[in-house]
């Protein structure tokens, strides 16, 4: 009888524990990536104020660039920037040299003058933001799947339509503090020889689900800046 | 042999069973043991007490046999020592306790199954989640919200939530393991507790780190190792329990022979009562096709009785008023009324069950090696695990690697297979023997039997039926009728087979035998009696010579009859040789076949007999025996066995267990043929219940098969541990091989136990060829 009682206890306890685990899992506090990722970005822009150029008053965007060429543009009010809430902007010449056929550009791509733009639309956002961090993370508020954490590189990432902006969780302990990532397959479809894009590194990365993805990378070590 | 001889033999036998007679023996059920270290710990704890002469604990039966001097130590102290060692001693009080134990074992197996199901249900998703994490190339889909990269804390919490029920289900490993560690006798549970506990606690620490923002700790979660290892060990233990239940099936079958109720006549009416309510002296009614509930003597009715489950004898035995019948045997076509003579624990069946149980509880000498190794094994494994972990840490490996090594070594090295290797094989072997009518009285008998290379067979009652018939009477001065009357009257008090043959022959001739005025048995010679005022000497030639009787007139007859294989008895009346009587015994139908089998097994077969050489050789030739030990007096048989032993032989003596008792004790293995008396059972190491000489080669073959099985088990048990430990410690990895994960270590360990028990169960298929 005592054993039966114990077994019932185990079953009841197990159900309770599992319920608690599911509850905890559903609790937003359990989303530690969402909890800690804005802080890491804030630390980077605070440590390297030159990275950010604020033109929000004139054209609604923050500009983040290390080399002055490849830049992340972040809208401070998504309702004002249409399909271009966040963009990776980089010189188009290396891509044209590698075979980019601009006539084939589809959603998420644009060429404006001598700049190649990878765009992303996150809807209308939650209103005007006062800081570059808040502006960046307004993208995640509408869709949590836009935020990623890459364990191998210890990077957070914000997904764009055809690319990703990644930054180090701890810039003091990482040699790739900021990384621009372009998906290679769509570029190949646009005629680009992804192995020969000047200034960009072609690499095959592995996703969490085991699938692999080809990308073009441009990484920066801010300490070496 | 006459009654006096029997008493002498019995006394001699008793004198040769020295030590344990002064000690009190007791058997206790012991709960809470999980491996060979546990049984070793109980033995150590009890042996520390003063006055203990025997402490043998059997892991397979969960029982312990203890012999102690009540003047120095009490049973309560023994129980306290067991309790203090961390285990629960319980009294065994015969049948009731046996049934309770069986019921408890069934309940416990049921609970183990339930715990296992709980553990498996929760472990399966953890394993799935962990596999998807460890082997992303498998492409196992998991819900987005618990991805290890994007949601590391949820990933950890889900696993924690799934692991805790498994930990609860396997909580006994922790309670018992930690307790035994603190008592200084770490066991298998300790290894599991420390191994899985380390993995769990480190994972808990990693979860806290993830919560604090150190997401890389999502790679340092070992919840799946803790949960899956516990589940696998539980699976191994469950399968082991199921298999152990099967090893005692022989006893179950014996216990099931008896009906639960009996029909008895009381106050002229037939009433059905519970078996426990049958009393000695009750008249019991058994209908055709029903089982005899208790032992007794048939009062009314004739029938045939199937005693195959008791004796292994396949042919039904005819019974009539006056015949004895045993409880558990199956009545044939007759309605029988019989008087209960033995009930409850006193019945032959209960004694057989007790004998088998005791045999299954006794350790074979081969088990000592496993016991010694197991006693030191767990502490050594703990040290090896720590040393391996420290060595890898010094070599610069990260904490995750070091923990994997530590947990794997602890888990793979659990010595459960080692502890089960011998007792399970002995249980199945002795159980199988009981089914075949071969009662092995313990592991030592079972082990020694396989070494036998010489078998000494007593002639009368063993090779032959033991019921000689009077064939010839030669007279010298008296009429045949007078000689037979005087001799039969003189011998009527004797139990010697030839004496009985003479008496039976006289009775068949309707002679009215006379009452002897005096009677004296002369061991190894014959008898002296006074009948009708005449002094009658009946016996062998030595008796005549020692009494100055001239037997030369019978010499020619003696030679002729001896050549025919007859056993001779000289009869002298008033100091003069009056007759020579000859009797012949019938050879058992199976003797020749059995002896041929023994010889084909490479065993030297000897016949030992008090007959003269000529007579003995005739019988020996008939059954195919080459070595004859003739003219051997009952008291000299042990000496002959000893002489063979001194020549380097391992000797089994096969006899009826009464007149051969000293030789049975002297032999390396004493085998008593037939159900025999208590003296037979006490003297022999093996009791061949069917009374068939074919059981001798069968017993040796069974022993050989069992020992071979034990050796296989020990090999596999040692092999697993000796190969597994360096593998788990990373030695193979050092040379470019794979690193063993704790999960595979747990699976290997569970498999080792199951394979050892399964191998032992193969013995159930043993057949007499």
Structure tokens at A121: 């639309």
When CB atoms are compared, the residue of A10, A30, A36 closest to B213 is A36
**Among the listed ranges B285-294, B479-488, B553-562, B748-757, which one has the minimum average pLDDT value?**
B748-757
**DSSP letter string, B157-173:** HHHHHHHHHHHHHTHHH
Q: What is the mean pLDDT of residues B561-570?
A: 83
Confidence of residue B1 (pLDDT cuts 50, 70, 90): very low
pLDDT at B9 over 90: no
Name the minimum distance, in Å, from the CA of A180 to any CA of chain B.
19
pLDDT in tens, B308-364: 666 655 567 778 888 888 888 888 878 889 999 988 878 877 877 776 666 666 666
pLDDT at B650 over 90: yes
Length in residues, chain B: 769
Most confident range, picked from A213-222, B518-527, B625-634, B719-728? A213-222
Q: What is the mean pLDDT of residues B563-585?
A: 88
Q: What is the mean pLDDT of residues B43-60?
A: 85
Task: Give contacts of B161 with chain A, Cβ < 8 Å.
Answer: 17-18, 20-22, 24
With pLDDT > 90 as the criterion, what percentage of chain B qualifies? 21
The architecture of the domain spanning B469-584 is 3-Layer(aba) Sandwich (3.40)
Confidence of residue A219 (pLDDT cuts 50, 70, 90): very high
Of B359, B235, B327, B332, the closest CA to residue B703 belongs to B359
**DSSP letter string, B178-241:** HHHHHTT---HHHHHHHHHHHHHHHHHHHHHHHHTT-GGGGGG--HHHHHHHHHHHHHHHHHHH
Coil vs helix vs strand at B645: helix
User: How confident is the prediction for chain A on average, in pLDDT?
Assistant: 88
Task: Give contacts of B211 with chain A, Cβ < 8 Å.
Answer: 32
* pLDDT for res B425: 85
Confidence of residue B467 (pLDDT cuts 50, 70, 90): confident
How far is the C-alpha of B686 from the C-alpha of B664, rounded, in Å? Answer: 10
Q: Where are the beta strands (DSSP E) in A70-211?
A: 71-75, 86-91, 109-112, 115-120, 147-150, 155-159, 163-168, 178-183, 201-206
**Among the listed ranges A166-175, B364-373, B717-726, which one has the minimum average pLDDT value?**
B364-373
CATH number for B3-91 (one of 3.40.50.720, 3.30.70.100, 3.30.230.30, 3.20.20.20): it is 3.30.70.100
More confident residue, B612 or B49: B49
pLDDT at A22 over 80: no
More confident residue, B99 or B522: B522
* pLDDT for res B19: 40
Confidence of residue A55 (pLDDT cuts 50, 70, 90): confident
Q: Are A30 and B151 an interchain contact pair (Cβ–Cβ within 8 Å)?
A: yes
Q: What is the phi/psi pair of residue B275, to 5°?
A: -55, -40
Q: What is the mean pLDDT of residues B694-715?
A: 91
Confidence of residue B3 (pLDDT cuts 50, 70, 90): very low
* pLDDT for res A29: 75
| Strand ranges of the sheet holding A52-55, from the earlier edge strand across to the other edge | A52-55, A61-65, A71-75, A86-91, A115-120, A109-112
Task: Give contacts of A27 with chain B, Cβ < 8 Å.
Answer: none
Confidence of residue B137 (pLDDT cuts 50, 70, 90): low
Name the residue with tokens 């004493």.
Answer: B670
* pLDDT for res B20: 39
Name the minimum distance, in Å, from the CA of B111 to any CA of chain A.
8
Name the minimum distance, in Å, from the CA of B11 to any CA of chain A.
52
Q: What is the mean pLDDT of residues B14-23?
A: 43
Q: Are A206 and B216 an interchain contact pair (Cβ–Cβ within 8 Å)?
A: no
Most confident range, picked from A27-41, B17-31, B626-640, B663-677? A27-41
Q: For chain B, say whether A211 makes contact (Cβ under 8 Å).
A: yes
pLDDT at B159 over 80: yes
* pLDDT for res B570: 94
More confident residue, B635 or A125: A125
> Which of B161, B169, B219 should we substitute to test contact with A (largest number of A Cβ atoms within 10 Å)?
B161
How far is the C-alpha of A67 from the C-alpha of A106, rounded, in Å? Answer: 27
pLDDT at B13 over 60: no
Q: What is the mean pLDDT of residues A84-99?
A: 94
Confidence of residue A214 (pLDDT cuts 50, 70, 90): very high
Q: Taking the CB of residue A15, how many other CB atoms lie within 10 A of it?
A: 11
Confidence of residue B72 (pLDDT cuts 50, 70, 90): confident
Q: What is the mean pLDDT of residues B707-715?
A: 88
* pLDDT for res B627: 92
State how far Cα A33 lies from the chain centre. Answer: 13
Torsion of CA B193, B196, B201, B203, to 10 degrees: -170
* pLDDT for res B7: 29
Name the minimum distance, in Å, from the CA of A19 to any CA of chain B.
8
Q: For chain A, say whether B153 makes contact (Cβ under 8 Å).
A: yes
- pTM of this prediction exceeds 0.95: no
**Among the listed ranges B160-174, B489-503, B563-577, which one has the minimum average pLDDT value?**
B489-503
* pLDDT for res B631: 82
pLDDT at A61 over 50: yes
* pLDDT for res B96: 59
Most confident range, picked from A1-5, B632-636, B754-758? B754-758
pLDDT at B563 over 60: yes
**Is the ipTM here above 0.90?**
no
* pLDDT for res B407: 82
* pLDDT for res A182: 95
Confidence of residue B131 (pLDDT cuts 50, 70, 90): confident
* pLDDT for res B360: 61
pLDDT at A207 over 80: no
Fold of the domain spanning B260-348: 2.70.150
Q: What is the phi/psi pair of residue A123, to 5°?
A: 85, -155
Q: For chain A, say whether B123 makes contact (Cβ under 8 Å).
A: no
List the end-to-end C-alpha distance of chain B, in Å, as a whole number: 35
More confident residue, B240 or B406: B406
Look at domain B438-464+587-689 and name its CATH class: alpha beta
pLDDT in tens, B354-382: 766 666 666 667 766 666 676 677 788 88
pLDDT at B136 over 80: no
Confidence of residue B574 (pLDDT cuts 50, 70, 90): very high
How far is the C-alpha of B160 from the C-alpha of B168, rounded, in Å? Answer: 12
When CB atoms are compared, the residue of A17, A145, A150 closest to B161 is A17
Locate the domains of chain B by residue range. Answer: 3-91, 100-249+363-426+710-764, 260-348, 438-464+587-689, 469-584
pLDDT at B764 over 90: no
Q: What is the mean pLDDT of residues B383-407?
A: 88
Q: Are B115 and A10 an interchain contact pair (Cβ–Cβ within 8 Å)?
A: yes
* pLDDT for res B699: 93
Q: Are B154 and A13 an interchain contact pair (Cβ–Cβ within 8 Å)?
A: no
């Amino acid at each position: 009888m005592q054993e039966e009682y114990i077994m019932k206890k185990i079953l009841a306890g197990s159900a309770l524990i599992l319920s608690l685990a599911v509850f905890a899992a559903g609790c937003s506090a359990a989303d530690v990536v969402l909890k800690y990722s804005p802080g890491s970005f804030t630390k980077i822009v605070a440590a390297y104020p030159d990275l950010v150029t604020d033109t929000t008053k004139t054209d609604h965007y923050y500009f983040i660039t290390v080399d002055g060429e490849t830049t992340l543009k972040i809208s401070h009010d998504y309702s004002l920037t249409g399909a271009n809430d966040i963009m990776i902007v980089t010189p188009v010449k290396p891509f044209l040299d590698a075979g980019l056929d601009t006539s084939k550009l589809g959603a998420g791509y644009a060429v404006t003058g001598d700049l190649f733009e990878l765009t992303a639309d996150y809807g209308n956002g939650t209103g005007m933001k006062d800081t570059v961090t808040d502006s960046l993370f307004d993208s995640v508020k509408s869709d949590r799947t836009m935020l990623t954490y890459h364990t191998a590189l210890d990077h957070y990432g914000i997904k764009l339509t055809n690319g990703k902006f990644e930054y180090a969780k701890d810039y003091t302990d990482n040699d790739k503090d900021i990384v621009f990532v372009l998906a290679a397959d769509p570029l190949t479809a646009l005629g680009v020889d992804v192995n020969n894009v000047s200034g960009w590194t072609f690499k095959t990365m592995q996703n969490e689900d085991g699938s692999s993805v080809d990308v073009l990378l441009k990484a920066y070590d801010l300490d070496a800046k | 042999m006459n009654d006096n001889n029997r008493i002498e033999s019995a006394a001699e036998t008793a004198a040769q069973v020295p030590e344990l007679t002064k000690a009190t023996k007791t058997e206790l059920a012991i709960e809470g043991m999980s491996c060979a270290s546990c049984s070793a710990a109980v033995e150590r704890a009890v042996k520390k007490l003063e006055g203990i002469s025997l402490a043998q604990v059997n892991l397979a039966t969960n029982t312990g046999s203890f012999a102690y001097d009540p003047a120095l130590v009490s049973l309560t102290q023994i129980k306290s020592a067991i309790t203090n060692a961390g285990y629960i001693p319980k009294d065994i009080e015969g049948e009731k306790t046996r049934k309770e134990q069986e019921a408890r074992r069934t309940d416990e197996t049921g609970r183990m199954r339930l715990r296992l199901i709980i553990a498996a249900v929760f472990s399966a998703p953890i394993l799935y989640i962990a596999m998807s994490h460890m082997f992303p190339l498998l492409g196992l889909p998991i819900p987005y919200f618990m991805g290890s990269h994007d949601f590391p804390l949820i990933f950890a919490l889900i696993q924690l939530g799934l692991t805790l029920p498994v930990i609860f289900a396997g909580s006994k490993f922790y309670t018992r393991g930690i307790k035994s560690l603190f008592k200084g006798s770490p066991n298998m549970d300790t290894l599991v507790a420390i191994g899985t506990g380390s993995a769990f606690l480190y994972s808990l620490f990693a979860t806290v780190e993830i919560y604090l923002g150190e997401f890389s700790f999502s790679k340092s979660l070992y919840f799946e190792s803790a949960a899956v290892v516990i589940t696998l060990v539980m699976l191994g233990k469950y399968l082991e329990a199921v298999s152990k239940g099967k090893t005692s099936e022989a006893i179950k079958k014996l216990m099931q022979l008896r009906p639960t109720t009996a029909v008895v006549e009381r106050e002229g009416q037939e009433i059905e009562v519970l078996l426990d309510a049958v009393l000695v002296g009750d008249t019991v009614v058994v209908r055709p096709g029903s089982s005899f509930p208790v032992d007794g003597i048939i009062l009314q009715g004739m029938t045939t009785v199937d005693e195959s489950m008791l004796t292994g004898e396949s042919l039904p035995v005819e019974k009539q008023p006056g015949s004895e019948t045993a409880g558990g045997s199956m009545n044939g076509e007759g309605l029988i009324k019989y008087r209960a003579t033995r009930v409850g624990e006193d019945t032959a069946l209960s004694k057989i069950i007790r004998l088998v149980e005791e045999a299954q509880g006794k350790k074979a000498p081969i088990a000592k090696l496993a016991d010694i190794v197991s006693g030191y094994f767990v502490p050594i494994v703990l040290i090896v695990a720590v040393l391996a972990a420290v060595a890898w840490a010094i070599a610069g490996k990260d904490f995750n690697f070091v923990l994997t090594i530590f947990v794997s070594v602890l888990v793979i090295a659990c010595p459960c297979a080692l502890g089960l290797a011998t007792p399970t094989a002995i249980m199945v072997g002795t159980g199988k023997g009981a089914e075949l009518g071969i009662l092995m009285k313990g592991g030592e008998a079972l082990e020694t039997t396989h070494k036998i290379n010489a078998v000494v067979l007593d002639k009368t009652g063993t090779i032959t039926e033991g019921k000689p018939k009077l064939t010839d009477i030669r007279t010298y001065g008296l009429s045949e009728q007078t000689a037979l009357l005087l001799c039969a009257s003189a011998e009527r008090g004797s139990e010697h087979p030839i004496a009985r043959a003479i008496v039976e022959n006289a009775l068949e001739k309707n002679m009215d035998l006379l009452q002897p005025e005096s009677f004296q048995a002369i061991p190894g010679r014959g008898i002296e009696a006074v009948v009708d005022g005449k002094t009658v000497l009946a016996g062998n030639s030595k008796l005549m010579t020692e009494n100055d009787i001239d037997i030369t007139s019978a010499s020619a007859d003696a030679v002729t009859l001896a050549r025919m294989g007859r056993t001779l008895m000289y009869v002298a009346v008033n100091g003069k040789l009056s007759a020579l009587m000859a009797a012949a015994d019938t050879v058992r139908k199976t003797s020749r076949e059995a002896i041929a089998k023994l010889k084909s097994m490479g065993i030297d077969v000897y016949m030992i007999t008090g007959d003269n050489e000529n007579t003995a050789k005739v019988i020996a030739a008939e059954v195919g025996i080459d070595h004859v030990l003739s003219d051997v007096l009952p008291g000299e048989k042990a000496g002959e066995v000893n002489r063979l032993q001194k020549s380097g032989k391992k000797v089994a003596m096969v006899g009826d267990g009464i007149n051969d008792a000293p030789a049975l004790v002297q032999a390396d293995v004493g085998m008593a043929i037939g159900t025999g008396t208590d003296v037979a059972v006490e003297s022999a190491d093996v009791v061949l219940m069917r009374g068939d000489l074919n059981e001798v080669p069968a017993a040796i073959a069974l022993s050989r098969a069992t020992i071979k099985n034990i050796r296989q088990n020990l090999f596999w048990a040692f092999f697993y541990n000796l190969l597994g430990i360096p593998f788990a410690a990373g030695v193979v990895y050092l040379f470019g091989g794979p690193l063993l994960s704790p999960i595979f270590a747990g699976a290997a360990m569970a498999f080792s136990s199951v394979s050892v028990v399964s191998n032992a169960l193969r013995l159930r298929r043993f057949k007499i060829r």
